[in-house]
Structure 1
């Protein structure tokens, strides 16, 4: 049974440790397998055509089932969903590490995605309903935002170490101790507020339409990367996703207990957070991929050194999230953290457009990574908090799922879009410089770097667009301040605040 949680309960800070650990496991799993993929492909005899499915199987299951996972957390209880997700993720990881053939590995990756879709929204919504006092919420979401932003880079480091010094299978097995510790801690210390459940019946048509629509969308971007944007299958998948998602919106506006109450996304601040966060992830995911190849192929770094090269970005993200974002969130409006944060990240990205064959890591790449980390950490922290702030407790799970959905879809779009741009620019450069090239190998590297820098220019523009959207749509006052404008969503959330000890806490309508 859920238990009452008070702001004086010391166990909530212990709970944060285990919630953050589970989030780290989910986020780093998105990139840790990338480093290990070449070794796994050779070991299991996976063809070049099928190797993308090691990544895609996880992305499709995870992205397609996130809204369903968020609704299950609201319905079934977030603590129970959280623990179930951890146990299932550990079992799926064990199967992946023990994979004897291609089919077993792909099945394990899909199963990881299924349980990740339960785990991720449950983790964020537990955080949202556990920390309600403004200053404590700022600290908690500062830590959570740093992990959400930096986990991908941690995955690159850990993947490099495990692959180089142990075996690719350990990129799966490493999840088991993570999950065991987090699940044990969750059972012992996490207490879910008793009033936060949503006992409404499950919206089956909504589940089917949302899942198929999101799977079609994510798979469409995957096919665009391999087949081209104008290929018949790509266009068909995009068309199907549009039809299914429009049907989903129509159904959600009619049913009594919708999977995604439209009040969650209609409120302008949350809409601004979801869209700006998705755009930022588009730019960041492409960057991880390009710079991993750049550092290994062009600069000749080993997998471990490549992972360590990303460490300053992680340090920047942790600093931006816990020292800048968390300290200022109760003092300034969220958009004054999010928009400048995205602009600073764009400046770091802008510096990376100057990469060349002999670019110095300390002189250019290091400061660019620090700017990227500081900017994204500062922006992610209030975005994570605002995505669930002011939402009714019974909708916390699905609101959290929308954060993860925007990130997952953004990652799929970023990988496909920026890879396509880079590939086109690489081919064009190679064709136009073939005549005067001193050697074929040198031309190949020059073309590759030109393609990366071209795609990074696009990432700069995408981050600036994220800043513009955050500044335009996010108009709420600072958390803990009395200047928060009334929400205009008409979602039944009260428009006032309850004042206590100098802290403004949103009044929820139950």
Structure 2
């Protein structure tokens, strides 16, 4: 699952999003309901599709790398355009942009369900990502605009609570729909939710804007961010099948790198940048975002492969795979209040070193199980340890980002941190796909030799390598040979999974080291031009 629960900074976006609009007290519960249902659509879609991927891959005869695009096309546009979506709401009206985003998301969901090949599904998922980039920041800003400061805390708590429930039931619901009916219902479930949101918005939600501060819209930055992410992601996803020397792969990689460099240049010069790079000069803010990049790359990239392992290798149903991370979510939900006090008691550095270090142990535990294991003894310990490590990390991470810049820039800072976490997952899925393909191919060749596979069976499975664990067996093989060949395929996937989780553990440890070196023991004050005071040394 590419986004487990709420990404960092969401609560901060609500708390510091905008000035209060003229919203009647009787309408505020309706505004909160619209925000909860709207953001739930994006939360659900960020998790259930991974559970549905094996069914999608089989039904649409897609390769494992095309299945990656089903996830990546959505996540890429959501990550690249998230900050622009918030700016569009500030400039043209939050209610209007939110409603447009919900409408586009619903139409794209129907297009996903009606897709007859994987290319159509990928395009529809990209449109979903654009809609999500408008509705996600809009749903958060509506709460801030409609509730006065003295009532905002309760609204935040309600929204957070329902978000936790959504994160828990979303994958399970998606798995149930896949098992009982079809993967298309994982997308169609968005339609009644969208209709409910639009009716509430039309009748009860007032319009609000961002005033003079919302005058700038960084269109060049948004275009370059999308091209940079898209180019790099395309190169790494397509390289295992086309080869690194393929003209399209090389062109995409070069375009992505050049666009990334151009993005930095533009953001340093444009009047209203979507990513204010000057904030990175603040020690705690820069350190927190480096930690976010490394840790959420591990989380999003590593857990993308977990449902595939459970369904295609271990033989679990989609429903069971959707429920596999419930302990993770419940731990974060139950201990979030306790974790939120850690910075006040111990300062930011301690929790942000200890939390990712615990998460690293969790990732390492994921690399232990082999083929045909029991979830309760093999994977549950890893899920619990990882969940506790992320719990220790997330609330202090958000608090550190907020404290680093002060209240005037907290909305911008939390939005940047939120986007960094999403972009990290997008890049990691593409990069880890290369690792998985390399390890799978190497282990499969050795496994087929050990199984004594015939030349015909070996050639057939070599042609199925792009399916990874979804590879079909050669036609006409006997039961014993089929069992040996299937074990070779599954063991090859597990080999790749172990490599991926080992890298995730290393990334988590690097994120802990980044906290140790770049985050002070106490919240840092702001350097010029944000403050005349000197930042405290670590």
Report the TM range for the smaller structure's normalisation. 0.7 to 0.9
> Residue 198 of structure 1: SS of its match in structure 2?
helix
Give structure 2 stretches of 5+ with no counterpart: 1-17, 453-483
Q: Which residue, 278, 285, 305 being the options, matches 1:263?
A: 278
Partner of 2:525: 486
Q: Which residue, 81, 84, 87 being the options, matches 1:71?
A: 87
Q: Which residue, 337, 344, 349 being the options, matches 2:363?
A: 349
> Residue 370 of structure 2: SS of its match in structure 1?
coil
Q: For 1:346-425, what aligned pairs fall within 5 Å after superposition?
A: 346-387=360-401, 399-425=413-439
With over 3 angstroms needed to count, the CA separation of the structure-2 counterparts of 1:409 and 1:199, relative to structure 1, is closer
Tell me by how many angstroms 1:112 deviates: 0.7
Q: Distance in 1 between matches of 2:30 and 2:351?
A: 28
> Residue 323 of structure 1: SS of its match in structure 2?
helix
Deviations 1:397-428 (A, max 9, x none): 65454334323322222222223223322333
Q: Which residue, 496, 500, 519 being the options, matches 1:455?
A: 500
CA contact (8 A) 2:31 2:142 kept: no
Deviations 1:243-279 (A, max 9, x none): 2222222223223333333234443333223322222
Partner of 1:109: 125
Q: Distance in 1 between matches of 2:281 and 2:394?
A: 21
Partner of 1:445: 490
CA contact (8 A) 2:236 2:433 kept: no
Deviations 1:32-51 (A, max 9, x none): 22333444456567677755
With over 3 angstroms needed to count, the CA separation of the structure-2 counterparts of 1:229 and 1:139, relative to structure 1, is farther
Deviations 1:213-246 (A, max 9, x none): 2332333333345445565533432322222222
CA contact (8 A) 1:286 1:414 kept: yes
Q: For 1:188-337, what aligned pairs fall within 5 Å after superposition?
A: 198-224=213-239, 226-228=241-243, 232-320=247-335, 322-337=336-351
CA contact (8 A) 2:444 2:489 kept: yes
1:173 aligned onto 2:188: yes
With over 3 angstroms needed to count, the CA separation of the structure-2 counterparts of 1:132 and 1:61, relative to structure 1, is same
> Residue 300 of structure 1: SS of its match in structure 2?
coil
> Residue 475 of structure 1: SS of its match in structure 2?
coil
Tell me by how many angstroms 1:294 deviates: 2.2
Partner of 2:74: 58
Which piece of structure 1 moves more, 98-107 or 190-199?
A: 190-199
Tell me by how many angstroms 1:312 deviates: 1.4
1:34 aligned onto 2:50: yes
CA contact (8 A) 2:436 2:497 kept: yes
Tell me by how many angstroms 1:459 deviates: 0.9
With over 3 angstroms needed to count, the CA separation of the structure-2 counterparts of 1:395 and 1:208, relative to structure 1, is farther
Give structure 1 stretches of 5+ with no counterpart: 478-483, 497-510
> Residue 428 of structure 2: SS of its match in structure 1?
helix
1:474 aligned onto 2:498: no
Q: Distance in 1 between matches of 2:403 and 2:28?
A: 18
CA contact (8 A) 2:96 2:207 kept: no
With over 3 angstroms needed to count, the CA separation of the structure-2 counterparts of 1:187 and 1:108, relative to structure 1, is same
Q: Tell me the number of residue pairs that the alignment of Structure 1 and Structure 2 aligns.
A: 484
Tell me by how many angstroms 1:392 deviates: 7.6
With over 3 angstroms needed to count, the CA separation of the structure-2 counterparts of 1:27 and 1:424, relative to structure 1, is same
**TM-score, structure 2 normalization:** 0.76
Tell me by how many angstroms 1:163 deviates: 0.9
Which piece of structure 1 moves more, 195-204 or 124-133?
A: 124-133
> Residue 214 of structure 2: SS of its match in structure 1?
coil
Q: Distance in 2 between matches of 1:356 and 1:45?
A: 27
Tell me by how many angstroms 1:346 deviates: 1.3
With over 3 angstroms needed to count, the CA separation of the structure-2 counterparts of 1:487 and 1:64, relative to structure 1, is same
With over 3 angstroms needed to count, the CA separation of the structure-2 counterparts of 1:436 and 1:93, relative to structure 1, is closer
CA contact (8 A) 1:74 1:398 kept: no
With over 3 angstroms needed to count, the CA separation of the structure-2 counterparts of 1:148 and 1:283, relative to structure 1, is farther
CA contact (8 A) 1:338 1:383 kept: yes
Q: Distance in 2 between matches of 1:276 and 1:299?
A: 32
> Residue 167 of structure 1: SS of its match in structure 2?
coil
Q: Distance in 1 between matches of 2:189 and 2:533?
A: 46
Tell me by how many angstroms 1:191 deviates: 7.8
CA contact (8 A) 2:366 2:498 kept: yes
Cα RMSD over matched residues? 4.0
